[in-house]
């Protein structure tokens, strides 16, 4: 794996400051905005149906997160996604809680079916549920994919024609052919609400500067995980970790990513 390409993408995010349009959940909206700022991009949080199409058209990436979904919000997501597709703006979907309730699962599947999705990022349970592989979700927490997560991710990515990201102790990134595994991160990230949502925001920021969504997603996850590793060293608990996480992400340099990213490319013949 050429780690220089990951470091270069961080440099591009900082240099270009892409606009990342979010339609996201009310629990983590502020954290998503701040993590986007910390990585060097510009967030906008807009879900009013009267403006989502216009906002999506001027954005550099669109992040859709169904964490606190409602019927009107899903309609806004669909309209924003259609406009983003029209203007070749990458769409990132975070299907939070898919598999927990029928409404969440159906909403995520509808968006995936009707939109051209650049990146679909979820935990093992969410992706397993959407792929029909028996994923289990309790609330918004994964309880497993119902099978081998890597195989599920590759098959679903190929079938859906998108890049699939499964977050976990080792993050999986695949478009069905290429596979990258990201080992950066810290267990404290699982003790804080919203880190998955923040990861989707970062995936959007990196996708905004590269159409190679496998590499851009791996770079986003490596940057986030590396910041988490450093933040955990000086954190006393979950909330001080949250503050340190933002600080370390903002201070992260391309050379830090070059030295500290633990990303592996996996050849398909090895699987």
Backbone angles phi, psi at 63, to 5 degrees: -110, 120
65 strand-pairing partners: 94
Model pLDDT, residue 148: 87
Express each pLDDT in 41-69 by its tens digit.
999 999 999 999 999 999 999 999 999 99
Model pLDDT, residue 100: 86
101 strand-pairing partners: 98
Report the relative pairing of strands 91-94 and 61-65 from DSSP bridges: parallel
Residues of the chain with pLDDT under 70: 134-147, 268-271
Express each pLDDT in 75-126 by its tens digit.
999 999 999 999 999 999 999 999 889 999 999 999 999 999 999 999 999 9
Q: How many domains does the chain have?
A: 1
- Burial of 4 by CB count in 10 Å (0-12 exposed, 13-18 middle, 19+ buried)? exposed
Model pLDDT, residue 193: 87
Neighbours of 234 (CB within 10 A): 12
Model pLDDT, residue 137: 52
- Its pTM stands at 0.93
Domain around 74: 3-270
* 21/1 Cα distance (integer angstroms): 30
Q: Are 56 and 84 in contact (CB under 8 A)?
A: yes
Q: Are 42 and 18 in contact (CB under 8 A)?
A: yes
Residue environment code for 21-31, b if the CB has 16+ CB neighbours within 10 A, otherwise e: bbbbbebbbeb
Model pLDDT, residue 270: 52
Give 182's Cβ-side CA count (13 Å radius). Answer: 30
Backbone angles phi, psi at 194, to 5 degrees: 100, 0
- Kindly report the CATH number assigned to the domain that includes residue 113: 3.40.1190.20
Report the relative pairing of strands 171-174 and 137-138 from DSSP bridges: unpaired
Structure tokens at 40: 């060097």
């Amino acid at each position: 794996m050429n780690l220089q390409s990951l470091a270069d993408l961080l440099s591009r995010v900082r240099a270009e400051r892409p606009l990342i349009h979010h339609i996201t959940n009310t629990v983590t909206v502020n954290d998503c905005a701040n993590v986007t700022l910390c990585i060097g991009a510009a967030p906008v949080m807009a879900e009013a149906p009267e403006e989502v199409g216009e906002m999506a058209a001027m954005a550099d990436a669109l992040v859709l997160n169904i964490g606190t979904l409602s019927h009107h919000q899903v309609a806004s997501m669909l309209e924003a996604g259609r406009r983003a597709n029209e203007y070749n703006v990458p769409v990132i979907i975070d299907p939070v809680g898919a598999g927990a309730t029928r409404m969440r699962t159906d909403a995520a599947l509808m968006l995936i079916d009707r939109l051209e999705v650049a990146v679909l990022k979820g935990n093992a349970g969410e992706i397993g549920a959407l792929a029909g592989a028996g994923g289990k979700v309790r609330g918004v927490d994964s309880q497993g994919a119902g099978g081998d997560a890597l195989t599920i991710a590759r098959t679903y990515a190929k079938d859906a024609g998108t890049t699939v990201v499964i977050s976990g102790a080792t993050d999986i990134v695949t478009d069905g052919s290429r596979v990258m595994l990201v080992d950066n991160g810290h267990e404290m990230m699982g003790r804080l609400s919203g880190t998955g949502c923040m990861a989707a925001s970062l995936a959007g920021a990196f996708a905004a500067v590269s159409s190679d969504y496998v590499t851009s997603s791996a770079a986003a996850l490596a940057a986030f995980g590396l910041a988490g590793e450093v933040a955990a060293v000086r954190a006393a608990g979950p909330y001080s970790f949250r503050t340190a996480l933002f600080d370390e992400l903002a201070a992260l340099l391309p050379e830090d990513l070059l030295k500290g990213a633990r990303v592996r490319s996996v050849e398909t013949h090895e699987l």
